Amino acid sequence: MTPDKYIKNYIDGALLPAASGEYFDNFNPAVGKVYSHIPDSDERDVQQALEAAERAFPEWSKTEPSTRFRILTRIADIIEQNLDDFARAESIDSGKPFAMARSVDIPRAHQNLRFFATAILHFSSESHPMQNEAINYTLRQPIGVVGCISPWNLPLYLFTWKIAPALAAGNCVIGKPSEMTPMTAYMLSKACSEAGLPAGVLNILHGHGAKVGQAIVEHPKIKAISFTGGTNTGKKIISTAGPMFKKLSLELGGKNPNIIFADCDFDEMMMTTLRSSFSNNGQICLCGSRIYVERPIYEKFKEELVKRTQFIKVGDPFSAVTDLGALVSEQHMKKVMSYISLAEVEGGTVLCGGTPVEMKGEYSEGYFLRPAVIEGLPHTCRTNQEEIFGPVVTIAPFDTEEEVIEYANSTQFGLAATVWTKDISKANRVAEKIESGIVWVNCWMVRDLRTPFGGVKSSGVGREGGLEALRFFTEQKNVCIKYS
Ligand code: NAD
């Protein structure tokens, strides 16, 4: 399965150019050059996809769960069988190391499909008997045509995380992957045809968020929107879809705190903190970007973190020794670097990194940045309040539990947090008080797909994962039967 130069929309089972006939450039961020072209879709493509999805819905929504299970599993099998091709495409599109795409992104994409293919076989609803009078039962019916919009940081991983539960629950879907990383979603459309997914059940549109994304959100017949992306985009989506009373699931930005107590397992914590800081160049919504360390171990932690960060190998995404590849785009690299300058203006000291990596040969124009560790900033400054979404962490000491909880909760975000301590009572106390949707104690990114996933405050509305996702993608109806 090889990627094409001209990506196509997937509408009604066919691969089509955008109605506009226009394409725009898709960059390989490691090389800094255009390598393929993306259809510039608009509301006409959304309308065409909507009509196809509406035609497909009556039959798809009535298929046996076992049929949906079989088709989704087949799609998963095709992705797994073409693991190297998908991983190569993901790496070229996003700049991340091939090894990461091969071991994390693509395996998780087929796991998502299998997870929800199976989950729908076990999905049930409640009944509420009223003694000697009536019985209520709850129907959970597919919503209809739903929109699924995903970001660029974990492209196929997050796209399938949405479309799998939507399809498993019997909906027809109009999906839009990020215009920064559309290639694996395009390859997925071919896998869907090969797996026998009926035409119109899944439609994948490519293009700019403000144009085709916005048209999906605005379309009155698309009844629910599941969105993952930035908080500002989330606000725009709410302001459009809220007054239309659409069902909304929003997974937004984060500024996650890592809280490290002096009694933690230092070696385990160091190993994991390096990963939670810089995996995927810090371009994971769950990465910890504000690290608070209890004062007795602060200096030791700082020395060790800086030493290990300097050892991180940034470079050729296809080299087996590379830890971090390129940032996703030139614009994103500029944004990340502007925050490093801001940190200095705000009085911070850059202890290491934060400068572009001078690459030779084919990668000389790529967007490579050395991971940065910054200290000396108050928790209230912009560097510690705004999402950077790059390989940048700040570190600061703390003295008491109350103080660190105040720091942790001081941003508008509330997605994830980590707590490091061997004292289980302290771990529970702190976990309970942190304002976030996810708390990891003595670990990071340990994921059970059955658990609720999402954020509080400006990090989102609603939850994905397990039954939460199937509940989101179904409409409940209570049926009450009186008897005597
Ligand atoms: P983004 O908001 O710019 O784009 C996300 C998607 O929305 C893209 O497909 C884009 O084309 C589309 N879009 C943009 N404007 C739109 C509009 N007006 N209407 C409809 N769709 C529109 O985000 P991004 O830069 O792609 O991703 C990075 C952000 O995503 C970060 O803030 C990160 O924290 C967040 N993120 C959150 C989670 C989570 O689970 N909470 C997971 C991954 C990424």
User: Is the same domain home to 75 and 116?
Assistant: yes
User: Is the same domain home to 345 and 476?
Assistant: no
Name the closest-CA residue to atom 34, ligand 1.
Answer: 253
pLDDT at position 439: 98
User: Is the same domain home to 384 and 472?
Assistant: no
Q: Say how many Å lie between the CA of residue 253 and the centre of ligand 1.
A: 8
**Phi, psi (deg, nearest 5) at residue 470:** -65, -35
User: Is the same domain home to 193 and 117?
Assistant: yes
pLDDT at position 415: 98
Letter string b/e over residues 265-295, b meaning 16 or more CB atoms within 10 A of that residue's CB = eeeebbebbbebbbbbbbbbbbbbbbbbbbe
Q: Do 126 and 61 contact (CB within 8 A), yes or no?
A: no
Q: Do 156 and 150 contact (CB within 8 A), yes or no?
A: no
Distance separating alpha carbons of residues 205 and 194, to the nearest angstrom: 19
Name the closest-CA residue to atom 21, ligand 1.
Answer: 213
Q: Let me know if residue 4 belongs to a domain.
A: no
Given 172, 285, 294, 375, which residue is catalytic?
285
Active site residue 406: no
CATH of the domain at 285: 3.40.309.10
Q: Which ligand 1 atom lies nearest to the CA of residue 285?
A: 34
Q: Let me know if residue 138 belongs to a domain.
A: yes
- The span from the first CA to the last CA of the chain, in angstroms, equals 63
Given 179, 251, 375, 464, which residue is catalytic?
251
Q: Say how many Å lie between the CA of residue 458 and the centre of ligand 1.
A: 13
Q: Which of 364, 339, 340 is nearest to 352 (CA)?
A: 340
Q: Say how many Å lie between the CA of residue 426 and the centre of ligand 1.
A: 35
User: Is the same domain home to 399 and 470?
Assistant: no
Q: Say how many Å lie between the CA of residue 231 and the centre of ligand 1.
A: 8
User: Is the same domain home to 463 and 439?
Assistant: no
User: Is the same domain home to 288 and 421?
Assistant: yes
Q: Which residue has the tokens 């705004």?
A: 386
Name the closest-CA residue to atom 22, ligand 1.
Answer: 209
The residues, any chain, with a CB within 8 Å of residue 96's CB and separated by 6 or more, are 90, 105, 280, 281, 317, 325
Q: Let me know if residue 3 belongs to a domain.
A: no
The pairing of beta strand 127-130 with beta strand 33-39: unpaired
Q: Say how many Å lie between the CA of residue 229 and the centre of ligand 1.
A: 2
Q: Let me know if residue 453 belongs to a domain.
A: no
Q: Let me know if residue 285 belongs to a domain.
A: yes
Name the closest-CA residue to atom 11, ligand 1.
Answer: 209
- Provide the strand spans (E) within 270-371: 288-294, 349-352
User: Is the same domain home to 273 and 162?
Assistant: no
Q: Let me know if residue 324 belongs to a domain.
A: yes
Name the closest-CA residue to atom 30, ligand 1.
Answer: 229
Q: Say how many Å lie between the CA of residue 331 and the centre of ligand 1.
A: 15
Q: Which ligand 1 atom lies nearest to the CA of residue 464?
A: 40
**pTM score of the predicted model:** 0.98
Q: Let me know if residue 2 belongs to a domain.
A: no
pLDDT at position 331: 98
Probe residue for ligand 1, chosen from 186, 255, 285 as the CB with the greatest number of ligand atoms within 8 Å: 285
Q: Do 56 and 200 contact (CB within 8 A), yes or no?
A: yes
User: Is the same domain home to 318 and 419?
Assistant: yes
Q: Say how many Å lie between the CA of residue 296 and the centre of ligand 1.
A: 39
Pocket of ligand 1, beta carbon within 6 A: 149-153, 158, 176, 178-179, 209-210, 213-214, 217, 228-230, 233, 236-237, 251-254, 285, 387, 389, 415, 455, 460
Q: Which ligand 1 atom lies nearest to the CA of residue 180?
A: 26
CB atoms within 10 A of CB 426: 16
Q: Let me know if residue 23 belongs to a domain.
A: yes
Q: Which ligand 1 atom lies nearest to the CA of residue 207?
A: 11
pLDDT tens digits for the chain (484 residues)? 666 899 999 999 999 999 999 999 999 999 999 999 999 999 999 999 999 999 999 999 999 999 999 999 999 999 999 999 999 999 999 999 999 999 999 999 999 999 999 999 999 999 999 999 999 999 999 999 999 999 999 999 999 999 999 999 999 999 999 999 999 999 999 999 999 999 999 999 999 999 999 999 999 999 999 999 999 999 999 999 999 999 999 999 999 999 999 999 999 999 999 999 999 999 999 999 999 999 999 999 999 999 999 999 999 999 999 999 999 999 999 999 999 999 999 999 999 999 999 999 999 999 999 999 999 999 999 999 999 999 999 999 999 999 999 999 999 999 999 999 999 999 999 999 999 999 999 999 999 999 999 999 999 999 999 999 999 999 999 999 999 8
Q: Say how many Å lie between the CA of residue 151 and the centre of ligand 1.
A: 4
Radius of gyration of the chain (CA): 23
CATH of the domain at 237: 3.40.605.10
User: Is the same domain home to 202 and 53?
Assistant: yes
Residue 435: give the domain boundaries.
256-448
Probe residue for ligand 1, chosen from 94, 112, 228 as the CB with the greatest number of ligand atoms within 8 Å: 228
Q: Which ligand 1 atom lies nearest to the CA of residue 151?
A: 26
The packing angle between helices 155-168 and 65-81, to 10°, is 160
Q: Which of 4, 310, 451, 410 is nearest to 186 (CA)?
A: 4
Name the closest-CA residue to atom 10, ligand 1.
Answer: 209
| Domains: count for the chain | 2
Active site residue 401: no
User: Is the same domain home to 53 and 140?
Assistant: yes
Distance separating alpha carbons of residues 69 and 73, to the nearest angstrom: 6
Name the closest-CA residue to atom 37, ligand 1.
Answer: 252
One-letter identity of residue 314: V
User: Is the same domain home to 299 and 174?
Assistant: no
